[in-house]
C-alpha cells in the first residue's frame, strides 16, 4: 500500500490502525523522535543517580523490592521478555498483530516510557518489512498490561520466538535475518516498556468497533429489506416520533431507514385494519439506535486509548530533574467495559434480526408469503433450517455476551489483586460479531427470497426502495432465487463474505465518521 501513517503518539485513528493492519507503511515524526530521546535522557540521568525505580533498578510485580545491580539491568529486561512469553492457544491473525505493534509503537512515541528511538525503529521495521511475530491469543488478564501477548511480540525483536515472513513460519532470528533487521539488545526499562500496556486489547477493540459499525449499516438495510418482504409500514419511522424522544442515534437510524425505503411500493401506508407492525420491524430505530449508542461510546474510548501512555512506570521531568512515577495506566478496565457493552448490544442486534427471520418463515405473520418461503411446502422445506441456524447463533451469543469484566482473579502474589479481563471481553465481542454477521447474512438470504415472492403478489408496480434495491441486487448476484430445496450453507457463507468484505452499497452511520 502506498499510504504511510506518521506516528506522533497523539493523533492515531481507528482508520489508520486498519490501514496499517492491511499493509500500510509507518514512520515516526521528528517531534516523536525528539520526545523519545528526551525521555531516554531522563532514564539515563536517573540511572546515573543510582536511585531506586520500579522496573528499572528493581524486579517486577511481587519482586518490586528486589534491587537489581547495574551490571544485571540488561539481563533483567531480557529475562522479563522470556519469562512472560507464556501465552497459549491459536495465534492472533496477522492484521491484529500488526495493529498491536502499531499501537504499542504509538504509545512509546509519546515520550513517557524512557526507551531508545531504536526500539521504535525496530518495531517499524517489522511492520514495514512484513515480519509478523507469532502471538498466542490467550494469556492476558487486561491488567499489568497485555503481558503474555506483548512478550511474544517482544521476543522477535530480540531475535527469539517465532514469526511469519513471506508466508513462512520461522524462528524469530531467521525471520529478522531474512528481512535484514538486526535484533535488539534491550537496555534499562525497555523490556518492561514493550510489555506493560494495553496494545493487544486495544487492537482487538479497534477491529471490533470497525466491524460493529459495518454490522450496524448492514442491519439497517437487512431490516429494511425484511420490512419490504413483509409489507411493513414506514409510518413508525416518521421523524416526529423520534423528535420527541431525542436520542440522536435513534433518530439517525430512523432517517436512514426512510432513505433506504424511499420510493418503495412494497411497503404499505396507513391501513385501519393493520395499523402497526411487530416490534422487530416497528422498533428498529429504537433497538438499532441503542446499539449505535454502545458502538459510539466504544469508538470514543478506543480513540483515547490509542493515544494514551499505558506504560508503568512513566518518566516525567520536574524542575529540570527526572521523575519516575508508578501508576496503573496499564489497567484496561475502560476498554474491557466498553467491549462488554458492545458485545451485549450486538447480541441484541442479532436477536432482533432473528425475530424478523422468524416472521419471514411464518405464514401467519408474513402477510401472504408462502410458509418457509418455498412454493412446494411439504415436499420441500425451503429456508426453514436457515432460521434454525440463526436461532442457534443468537442463542450462543447469550453466552458470549456475559460480561468478562465482572470477573477478576488476583495474581502476582496478590500484588495484582484486581484485573480487568478486558482482553477476554474483546475476544468475546469478536465471537458475537462472527455470529451476528452470519445472522444478518441469513436475514439477507430470507428477505431477498421473500421480496421475490412479494413482487409476484404485487405485480408490475412492485418497486424496491432506492437504497434497498441496490443491496438486493448485490445479494442476488451472489445468491439466486431458490426455486427448489438445495444446501444453504454455501449460500449463507457467500453472503457473510459479502457483508464482512464491506462490499455492500451501504450509507454511512452518520456524517463525519471516518
**CA–CA dist 476, 491 (Å, integer):** 11
Complete DSSP assignment for 393-422: HHHHHHHHTS-STT----BTTTTB-----H
| Nine cell digits for residue 26 | 509507518
- For residue 58, the SS3 value is strand
- List Cα–Cα distances, 75 to 46, 71, 186, 190, 315, in angstroms: 19, 8, 8, 11, 21
- C-alpha R_g of the chain: 26
| Nine cell digits for residue 283 | 422498533
Q: Residue 55 CA to chain centroid, in angstroms?
A: 31
Q: Are strands 168-171 and 321-325 parallel, antiparallel or unpaired?
A: unpaired
Bridge partners (DSSP) of residue 411 are 416
Bridge partners (DSSP) of residue 165 are 131, 168
Residues in the chain: 514
Q: Are 494 and 432 in contact (CB under 8 A)?
A: no
Look up 388 and say whether it is catalytic. no
Which residue in the list 54, 112, 165, 472 is annotated as catalytic?
Answer: 54
Q: Are 154 and 191 in contact (CB under 8 A)?
A: yes
E-only strand ranges, 49-135: 88-91, 131-133
Positions marked active-site = 54
Amino acid at each position: 500500500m502506498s499510504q504511510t501513517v506518521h506516528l506522533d503518539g497523539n493523533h492515531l485513528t481507528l482508520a489508520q490502525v486498519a490501514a496499517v493492519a492491511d499493509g500500510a507503511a509507518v514512520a515516526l515524526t521528528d517531534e516523536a523522535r525528539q520526545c523519545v530521546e528526551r525521555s531516554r535522557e531522563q532514564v539515563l540521568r536517573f540511572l546515573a543517580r543510582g536511585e531506586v525505580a520500579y522496573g528499572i533498578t528493581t524486579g517486577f510485580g511481587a519482586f518490586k523490592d528486589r534491587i537489581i545491580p547495574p551490571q544485571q539491568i540488561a539481563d533483567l529486561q531480557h529475562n522479563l521478555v522470556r519469562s512472560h512469553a507464556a501465552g497459549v492457544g491459536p495465534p492472533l491473525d496477522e492484521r491484529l498483530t500488526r495493529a498491536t505493534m502499531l499501537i504499542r509503537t504509538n504509545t512509546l512515541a509519546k515520550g513517557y516510557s524512557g526507551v531508545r528511538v531504536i526500539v521504535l525503529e525496530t518495531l517499524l521495521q517489522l511492520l514495514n518489512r512484513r515480519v509478523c511475530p507469532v502471538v498466542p491469543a490467550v494469556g492476558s488478564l487486561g491488567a499489568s498490561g497485555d503481558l503474555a501477548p506483548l512478550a511474544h511480540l517482544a521476543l522477535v525483536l530480540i531475535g527469539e520466538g517465532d514469526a511469519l515472513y513471506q508466508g513462512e513460519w520461522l524462528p524469530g532470528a531467521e525471520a529478522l535475518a531474512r528481512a535484514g533487521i538486526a535484533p535488539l539488545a534491550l537496555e534499562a526499562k525497555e523490556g518492561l516498556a514493550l510489555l506493560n500496556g494495553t496494545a493487544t486489547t486495544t487492537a482487538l477493540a479497534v477491529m471490533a468497533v470497525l466491524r460493529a459499525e459495518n454490522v450496524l449499516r448492514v442491519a439497517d438495510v437487512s431490516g429494511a429489506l425484511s420490512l419490504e418482504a413483509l409489507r411493513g409500514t414506514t409510518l413508525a419511522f416518521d421523524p416526529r416520533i423520534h423528535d420527541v424522544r431525542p436520542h440522536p442515534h435513534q433518530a439517525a437510524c430512523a432517517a436512514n431507514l426512510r432513505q433506504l425505503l424511499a420510493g418503495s411500493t412494497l411497503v404499505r401506508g396507513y391501513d385501519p385494519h393493520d395499523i402497526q407492525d411487530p416490534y422487530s420491524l416497528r422498533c428498529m430505530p429504537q433497538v438499532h439506535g441503542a446499539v449505535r449508542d454502545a458502538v459510539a461510546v466504544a469508538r470514543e474510548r478506543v480513540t483515547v486509548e490509542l493515544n494514551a501512555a499505558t506504560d508503568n512506570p512513566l518518566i516525567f521531568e520536574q524542575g529540570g530533574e527526572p521523575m519516575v512515577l508508578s501508576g496503573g495506566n496499564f489497567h484496561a478496565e475502560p476498554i474491557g467495559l466498553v467491549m462488554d457493552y458492545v458485545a451485549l448490544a450486538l447480541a441484541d442486534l442479532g436477536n432482533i434480526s432473528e425475530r424478523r427471520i422468524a416472521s419471514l418463515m411464518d405464514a401467519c405473520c408474513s402477510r401472504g408469503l408462502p410458509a418457509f418461503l418455498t412454493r412446494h411446502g411439504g415436499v420441500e422445506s425451503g429456508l426453514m433450517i436457515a432460521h434454525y441456524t440463526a436461532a442457534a447463533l443468537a442463542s450462543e451469543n447469550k453466552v458470549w455476551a456475559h460480561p468478562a469484566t465482572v470477573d477478576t482473579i488476583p495474581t502476582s502474589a496478590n500484588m495484582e489483586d484486581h484485573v480487568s479481563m478486558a482482553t477476554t471481553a474483546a475476544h468475546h465481542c469478536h465471537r458475537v460479531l462472527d455470529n451476528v454477521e452470519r445472522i444478518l447474512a441469513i436475514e439477507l438470504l430470507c428477505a431477498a427470497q421473500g421480496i421475490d415472492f412479494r413482487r409476484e403478489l404485487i405485480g408490475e408496480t412492485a418497486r424496491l426502495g432506492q437504497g434497498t434495491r441496490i443491496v438486493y441486487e448485490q445479494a442476488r448476484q451472489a445468491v439466486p432465487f431458490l426455486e427448489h430445496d438445495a444446501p444453504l450453507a454455501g449460500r449463507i457463507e457467500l453472503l457473510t463474505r459479502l457483508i464482512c468484505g464491506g462490499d455492500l452499497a451501504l450509507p454511512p452511520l452518520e456524517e463525519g465518521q471516518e
